[in-house]
């Protein structure tokens, strides 16, 4: 018998089964996807960190022999706090002589004259395996003999070195002989083994008079001892440990962070220093992760609340469809448990299986296996028992006269008013607690506080339910005067409303508010990242070098795709003094940006970035007085009417024409800065201001051509300074585009989890809102079918019948959409800093930003809801056979 009843009521049971499957899928897949995306983001962030941040390095000055430190390489790794030893992937030991303390000279040009040659030496494990000799051999220094050194091909070309050439290293206490025995090339310049040998691969060439060459070479352990003994420069032994980011997971994030912090506090060796900032980087990621977990909990609570509401609506609809069957059983003497068991026999074979399928599908989603799925078990129990419980509840009293099921606006009971008041109190109290306490990540996800947005949405639904009858009654009176019956009947039915139709209103508001909340927060984060990108790259592209020739602008402007250029000079740690006459009295150091303001405005106009160039800078012209400047608040506090700042070793006087918290081109987090208009500064024939950056505007810029021209300009400038032809650029030019930087912001940290949270919120909220409209239509389909059948006998057309449904649905959908949108847009302001959104746009404040597209999507949701309602109505009308519903005794479809 139960199998036959399952087939007879397959639609209702199938709908509950689908809802249970989706809910189980959400409960299972969301945590797994969150963990997978979080792990992926953590590993990507650690992989991008520079070696001085991500690796743990120990350094100590140790007497000879340098080779003995190799024995401690594995021992120190084993002594790292747990779980760090299991994460160590690669390790290196090195003995080095700092280039700041060694000067090299030779017996051949250019080693025998010209600019000073600051030459560092390093012996390190792993170098031989990572390099390929192109001339000579590897060092084999003999005790007491000259130190044998190999250099890279770049160093050899820069200093005209060759195998067998003799060198001399001078230190504070003497000199040590050396000999070049080989030239090598790295197999992979990006191999981390070369991280501490940057000057060996890319030598630094002097640009200004008095600057030295900075290079480095590779020797062996005995070579380090020989040079150290001869020059008196102490050798530094260092051990470096690199953790394999592929073994990191967010589950061990806290323990790894604590272990790295403990490593910095440990006493490894007398005088030893530990260098790493990995714990700080992991803490920043953890802050993002905690913030996104709180956000995901809010979104997931909204989706689950909507799903549970739909499950209750589906069960309520099923009971209403079968009320005559249950009433007949009750009249024949069936007890309430018998009715419950009858319904349970139909649900038990279907609902747990559907929930199990949802759990199995969710378990296949990439991610770590979590704890036992107690929530999934509870969901299976709920979907199985909800129809039997509601069926027994509906038959507590046996009535012989049927009431009007379409009248909902009757006087509420004291019990219902108490429940509604309790929801309002819980929502208000939750908002207060949430703003005071926040979502404490150390205490885990607080179910109550995470559900506050849902409670606020439910409270808004209750208020809307209580207030909706008044405007509808007024609209009904106005509609009664209109021609035709469709508008009046639609508004009247909406004003009365079936009891089950009140549930869809609450579900609609919760679903819409969840989607709008996700959209508002997403647009707020996107807007903050746009501002951050503009502050860093205030044009289509930002060309950066070491120094360009003064006439480089014309050649750069001819690059294909370039439409406008602005020359810029940026210097850090420049002297700030009260006036040029008293240079000894300093007011600290500042970051200085010198920009051609009119050209900057032209670049901004062509690039389309959101930048307002201050009028004081634009109108500035060269005269005898101080130039106008824009300064930061920290600088403005200590200044008078005027001051002077060092630009390229020359003091320029300025007056404060504006104060700004940030300025485009200076980057994020710069607290002390001065911005000067280039066109107003006095130019000097022999010491002109040299640009080291260019703001570039254009579409489809040929970046390769731009970089070639830029490097040619840099080589030209360096050749002019050195008086010889330079073939290698000290600092190759680089191009950073606004779009690339903006995309990089979207790839950092736990952004994938943030995207998942709000994509799920927007898509899930929309889908559940549409389902709620379908339930609202299905709830009143029986009564509406009888009314349409009667009206059709009076000549009502099918088109006017559909119009009647639209009139009935518009108040429900429109009120729910507006209330949900209001709640969703207000929630970020209510929750405030509790959301922790600042972690996703460091250095830029998060401001509430309501994108017009979000409002347009809400209006689109109204249209989609109405279309869905019409589709459900047509389907129900076909099944009900409207021509037969007026036959005697057929009160239900």
What the block records as the tokens of 130 is 């990572």
Q: Where are the alpha helices (DSSP H) in 160-252?
A: 198-201, 221-231
Q: Which two tokens stand for residue 294?
A: 């709180």
- What are the C-alpha distances in Å from 765 to residues 304, 322, 575, 761, 827? 10, 30, 56, 6, 15
Residue 139 has pLDDT above 90, yes or no: yes
Which distant-in-sequence residues (6+ apart) come within 8 Å of 346 by Cβ? 2, 5, 6, 9, 13, 387
Helix (H) or strand (E) holding 336: helix 336-347
Query: Which of 253-262, 360-369, 871-880 has the weakest average pLDDT?
Result: 871-880
Lowest mean pLDDT, pick from 35-39, 379-383, 850-854: 850-854
Give the integer Cα–Cα distance in Å for 97 and 223. Answer: 10
Contact assessment for residue 565 and residue 635, using Cβ atoms and an 8 Å cutoff: no
Residues paired with 92 in a beta bridge: 240
C-alpha distance from residue 280 to each of 286, 515, 619, 802 (Å): 10, 34, 44, 62
**pLDDT, mean of residues 159-176:** 89
Query: Model confidence over 175-203: pLDDT tens digits?
Result: 999 999 999 999 998 899 999 998 999 88
Label the pairing between strands 147-152 and 175-186: parallel
CA angle 754, 285, 834 (to 5 degrees): 60
Closest Cα to residue 557, out of 569, 548, 566?
566
Classify 368 as helix, strand or coil: coil
Instruction: Determine which helix (DSSP H) or strand (DSSP E) holds 104, and give its type and residue range.
Output: strand 103-106
pLDDT at 181: 94
Cis peptide before 110 (omega within 30 of 0): yes
Question: What's the whole-number average pLDDT of the chain?
Answer: 81
Average pLDDT over residues 785-803: 68
CB 277 within 8 A of CB 55: no
Indicate the pLDDT class of residue 508, thresholds 50, 70 and 90.
confident
Q: With cut-offs at 50, 70 and 90, classify the pLDDT of residue 398.
A: low
pLDDT band at 121 (very low <50, low <70, confident <90, very high): very high
d(CA 631, CA 647) in angstroms, rounded, equals 15
Structure tokens at 18: 């689908």
Q: Which residue has the tokens 């609340």?
A: 305
Pair of tokens at residue 745: 């912001």
Instruction: Tell me how crowded residue 328 is: count the other CB atoms within 10 A of its CB.
Output: 11
- Cβ atoms within 10 Å, residue 286: 19
User: Which of 466, 83, 474, 122 shows the shortest CA–CA distance to 263?
Assistant: 83
Residue-wise pLDDT tens digits, 584-622: 677 888 999 999 999 999 999 998 888 888 898 988 888
Residue 855 confidence (pLDDT) above 80: no
Q: Per-residue pLDDT tens for 257-314?
A: 999 999 988 877 777 888 999 999 898 888 888 777 777 777 778 888 888 888 888 8
pLDDT score recorded for residue 885 = 52
**pLDDT tens, 648-698?**
888 888 988 889 988 998 888 888 999 999 888 887 766 788 888 999 998
pLDDT bin (cut points 50, 70, 90) of residue 442 is low
**pLDDT number for residue 892:** 45
Rounded CA-CA distance 571/648 in Å is 8
Tokens 């927060």 identify what position? 521
**Spatial distance between the Cα atoms of 114 and 106, rounded to a whole number of angstroms:** 12
Three-state SS for 692? coil
For the segment 232-260, the average pLDDT, to the nearest whole number, is: 91
> Contact 237/59 with Cβ under 8 angstroms?
yes
Confidence of residue 499 (pLDDT cuts 50, 70, 90): very low
Q: Burial level of 91, CB count in 10 A (0-12/13-18/19+)?
A: middle
List Cβ neighbours of 186 (8 Å cut-off, separation of 6 or more): 130, 131, 132, 152, 194, 201
Has residue 169 got a pLDDT over 60?
yes
- Cβ-Cβ contacts under 8 Å for 64 (sequence gap 6 or more): 224, 225, 228, 229, 235
Three-state SS at 371:
coil
Residues listed for the chain: 893
Give bridge partners of residue 697 from the DSSP assignment: 564
Determine the angle formed by the axes of helices 486-496 and 798-831, rounding to 10 degrees: 40
The per-residue pLDDT for 888 is 39
- Three-class SS state of 465: helix
What tokens appear for 481 in the block? 């005067």
> What is the average pLDDT across 78-89?
92
Furthest-apart CA atoms within the chain: distance in Å: 119
Model confidence at 893, in pLDDT bands (50, 70, 90)?
very low
Q: Give Cα separations from 153 to 200, 201, 644 (angstroms).
A: 9, 8, 45
368 has pLDDT over 80: no
pLDDT value for 134: 93
* Model confidence at 882: pLDDT above 80: no
Averaging pLDDT over each range in 269-273, 340-344, 404-408, which range is the top one? 340-344
Question: Which residue has better confidence, 563 or 402?
Answer: 563
For residues 29-36, give the mean pLDDT: 83
**Measured between alpha carbons, how far is 801 from 808 in angstroms, rounded to an integer?**
11
Nearest to 16 by CA among 296, 387, 281: 387
Judge whether residue 704 has pLDDT over 80: yes
Which pLDDT score, from 0 to 100, does residue 176 have?
Answer: 92
More confident residue, 851 or 174: 174
**Please, which residues have CB within 8 angstroms of residue 665's CB and are 6 or more apart in sequence?**
535, 536, 538, 542, 568, 570, 593, 595, 693, 695
Look at residue 884 and tell me whether its pLDDT is greater than 90. no
pLDDT in tens, 744-792: 888 776 777 777 777 777 777 777 777 777 777 766 666 666 776 766 6
Give residue-wise pLDDT tens across range 513-535: 887 887 788 888 888 888 888 88
Quick one: pLDDT band at residue 216, thresholds 50, 70, 90? very high
């Amino acid at each position: 018998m139960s199998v036959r009843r399952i087939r007879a009521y397959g639609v209702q049971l199938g709908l509950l089964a689908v809802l249970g499957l989706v809910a189980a899928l959400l409960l299972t897949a969301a945590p797994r996807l969150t963990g997978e995306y979080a792990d992926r983001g953590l590993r990507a962030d650690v992989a991008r960190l520079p070696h001085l941040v991500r690796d743990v390095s120990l350094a100590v000055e140790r007497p000879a022999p340098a080779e003995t430190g190799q024995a401690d390489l594995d021992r120190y790794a084993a002594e790292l706090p747990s779980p760090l030893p299991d994460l160590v992937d690669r390790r290196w030991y090195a003995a080095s002589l700092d280039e700041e303390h060694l000067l090299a000279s030779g017996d051949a040009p250019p080693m025998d004259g010209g600019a000073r040659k600051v030459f560092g030496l390093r012996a390190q494990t792993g170098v031989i395996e990572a390099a390929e000799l192109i001339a000579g051999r590897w060092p084999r220094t003999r005790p007491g003999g000259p130190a044998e050194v190999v250099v890279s091909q770049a160093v050899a070309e820069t200093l005209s070195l060759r195998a067998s050439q003799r060198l001399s290293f001078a230190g504070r206490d003497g000199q040590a002989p050396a000999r070049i025995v080989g030239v090598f090339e790295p197999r992979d310049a990006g191999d981390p083994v070369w991280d501490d040998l940057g000057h060996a691969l890319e030598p630094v060439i002097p640009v200004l008079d008095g600057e030295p060459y900075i290079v480095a070479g590779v020797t062996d352990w005995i070579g380090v001892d020989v040079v150290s003994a001869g020059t008196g420069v102490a050798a530094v032994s260092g051990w470096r440990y690199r953790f394999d980011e592929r073994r990191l997971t967010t589950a061990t994030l806290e323990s790894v962070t604590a272990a790295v912090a403990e490593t910095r506090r440990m006493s490894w060796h007398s005088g030893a220093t530990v260098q790493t900032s990995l714990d700080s980087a992991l803490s920043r990621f953890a802050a993002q992760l905690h913030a996104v977990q709180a956000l995901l909990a809010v979104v997931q609570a909204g989706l689950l609340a909507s799903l549970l509401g739909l499950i209750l609506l589906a069960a309520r609809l099923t009971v209403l469809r079968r009320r005559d069957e249950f009433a007949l059983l009750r009249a024949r003497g069936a007890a309430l448990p018998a009715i419950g068991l009858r319904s349970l026999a139909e649900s038990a074979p279907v609902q747990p299986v559907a929930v199990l399928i949802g759990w199995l599908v969710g378990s296949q989603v990439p991610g770590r296996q979590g704890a036992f799925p107690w929530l999934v078990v509870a969901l299976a129990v709920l979907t199985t028992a909800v129809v039997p419980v509601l069926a027994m509840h509906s038959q507590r009293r046996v009535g012989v006269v049927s009431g009007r099921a379409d009248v909902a606006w009757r006087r509420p009971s004291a019990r219902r008013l108490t429940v509604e008041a309790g929801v309002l109190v819980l929502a208000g109290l939750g908002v207060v607690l949430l703003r005071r306490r926040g979502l404490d990540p150390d205490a885990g996800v607080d179910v109550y506080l995470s559900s506050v947005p849902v409670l606020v949405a439910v409270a808004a639904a209750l208020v809307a339910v209580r207030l909706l009858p008044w405007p509808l009654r007024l609209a009904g009176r106005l509609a009664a005067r209109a021609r035709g019956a469709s508008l009046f009947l639609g508004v009247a039915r909406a004003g009365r409303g079936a009891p089950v139709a009140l549930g869809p209103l609450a579900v609609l508001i919760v679903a819409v508010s969840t989607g709008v909340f996700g959209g508002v927060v997403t647009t707020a984060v996107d807007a903050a990242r746009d501002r951050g990108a503009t502050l860093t790259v205030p044009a289509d592209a930002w060309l950066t070098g070491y120094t360009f020739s003064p006439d480089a602008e014309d050649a750069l402007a001819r690059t294909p795709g370039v439409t406008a250029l602005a020359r810029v000079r940026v210097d850090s740690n420049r002297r700030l003094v009260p006036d040029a006459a008293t240079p000894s009295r300093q007011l600290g150091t500042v970051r200085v940006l010198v920009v051609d303001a009119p050209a900057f405005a032209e670049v901004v106009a062509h690039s389309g970035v959101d930048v307002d160039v201050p009028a004081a800078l634009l109108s500035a012209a060269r005269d005898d007085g101080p130039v106008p400047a824009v300064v930061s608040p920290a600088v403005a506090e200590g200044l008078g009417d005027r001051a002077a700042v060092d630009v390229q070793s020359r003091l320029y006087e300025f007056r404060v024409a504006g104060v700004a918290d940030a300025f485009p081109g200076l980057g994020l987090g710069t607290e002390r800065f001065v911005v000067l208009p280039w066109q107003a500064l006095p130019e000097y024939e022999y010491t002109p201001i040299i640009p080291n950056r260019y703001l570039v505007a254009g579409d489809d810029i040929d970046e390769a051509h731009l970089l070639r021209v830029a490097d040619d300009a840099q080589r030209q400038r360096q050749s002019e300074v050195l008086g010889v032809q330079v073939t290698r650029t000290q600092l190759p030019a680089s191009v950073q585009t606004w779009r690339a930087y903006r995309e990089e912001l979207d790839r950092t940290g736990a952004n994938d989890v943030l995207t998942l949270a709000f994509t799920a919120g927007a898509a899930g909220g929309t889908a559940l809102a549409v389902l709620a409209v379908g339930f609202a239509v299905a709830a009143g389909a029986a009564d509406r079918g009888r009314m349409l059948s009667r009206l059709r006998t009076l000549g009502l057309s099918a088109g006017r019948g559909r119009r009647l449904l639209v009139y009935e649905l518009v108040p429900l959908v429109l009120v729910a959409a507006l209330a949900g949108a209001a709640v969703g847009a207000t929630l970020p302001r209510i929750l405030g800093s509790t959301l922790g959104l600042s972690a996703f746009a460091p250095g830029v404040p998060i401001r509430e930003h309501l994108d017009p597209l979000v409002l347009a999507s809400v209006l689109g949701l109204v249209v989609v809801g109405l279309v869905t309602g019409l589709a459900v109505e047509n389907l129900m009308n076909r099944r009900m056979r409207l021509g037969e519903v007026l036959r005697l005794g057929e009160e239900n479809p």
